[in-house]
Amino acid sequence: MTPEQSCREAFVEASSFLEKCGVYEPHNNARLLLEHVLGVYGAQYYMMQPEPFPSELRSRWEDAVTRKAAGEPAQYIIGSQEFYGLPFEVTPAVLIPRPETELLVEAVLRAADRVFAGGAVRAVDIGTGSGTIAVTMASLRPQWQVAAGDLSADALQVAARNAAANGVQIDFREGDLLAPFAGERLDILVSNPPYIPADDIAGLQQEVRDHEPRLALDGGPDGLAPYRIMVEQLKLLPAPPQIVGFELGMGQAQDVAALLESAGHWPEIIIVPDLAGIERHVLGVRPSEQVTKM
């Protein structure tokens, strides 16, 4: 980077360098990093383009680009990611929130508005990670009682900070899937658990394979272990939740739908595609008037 470079020239140089390093979406990553380092976004970002690159930010910029070239996700370098219009801190202790998970939240909210006429609805987010699902539900439905669990204490610390930053109250629990909620009534169960088959992890994109937490990726031999365990753990509850919503991997929807159907607790099994048309979410829904015994 030359001393007289403009911000635009710094962007072009970084984009070219990242592309040569084989970085996915080099231009988008260069922009994300440049916005972060400059501290400007939207119209301000474009207004800064012809301006000289601030010399006091040069070492910080070069460090960010170097880390990105080595495969580190931009969100970890920046330390944040937006989800459903809300800001979330992300660290290597948690998965980076994906936009398709927003569709899971929307599907659960639609089902809940149809099933629950009012009263105290208790929703739980299992495998909460950075807390995106739990915090978003609590933000959009402030009358709900929202809880969240995760096996990782480090992830729960991140999630707790995100709840506080977004001004919501979440009951966080550490433990294996539904175990921390044994004996408690849950009306809604939502989960985006690990669903990558263990043998497939080595073939994932470098950013995911080498930087995102394996604990949040590994779904067992076929990727379906967490779903089977959660369905089995339903016996720990006084009654199964009226709504269950799962996110899953490509090609897993029919198996997870069959798992929920065989459990016999939800007369409605709904498969929700993502924006690419991939069957990404499965919901089990039971109207209030129908009661099922464990």
The DSSP secondary structure of the chain, one letter per residue, reads: --TT-BHHHHHHHHHHHHHHTT-SSHHHHHHHHHHHHHT--THHHHHHTTSBPPGGGHHHHHHHHHHHHTT--HHHHHTEEEETTEEEE--TTSPPP-THHHHHHHHHHHHHHHH--SS--EEEEES-TTTHHHHHHHHH-TTSEEEEEES-HHHHHHHHHHHHHTT---EEEESSTTGGGTT---SEEEE----B-GGGGGGS-HHHHHHS-GGGTB--TTS-HHHHHHHHHGGGSSS--SEEEEE--TT-HHHHHHHHHHHT--SEEEEEE-TTS-EEEEEEE--TT-----
pTM of the model: 0.89
Over its C-alpha atoms, the chain yields an Rg (Å, rounded) of 21
Question: What's the CA gap between 238 and 122, in Å, rounded?
Answer: 13
Q: What separation in angstroms does the CA of 18 have from each of 12, 194, 205? A: 10, 29, 15
pLDDT by 10s per residue, the chain, length 294: 566 799 999 999 999 999 999 998 999 999 999 999 999 988 999 999 999 999 999 999 999 999 999 999 999 999 999 999 999 999 999 999 999 999 999 999 999 999 997 778 999 999 999 999 999 999 999 999 999 999 999 999 999 999 999 999 999 999 999 999 999 999 999 999 876 777 667 776 777 776 667 776 757 778 898 999 999 999 999 999 999 999 999 899 999 999 999 999 999 999 999 999 999 999 999 987 554 444
What does the pLDDT read at residue 223?
81
For the record, the structure tokens of 189 come out as 């169960």
What is the CB-side half-sphere exposure of residue 129 using CA atoms within 13 A?
A: 27
List residues bridging with 285 in a β-sheet: 243, 268
What does the pLDDT read at residue 294?
47
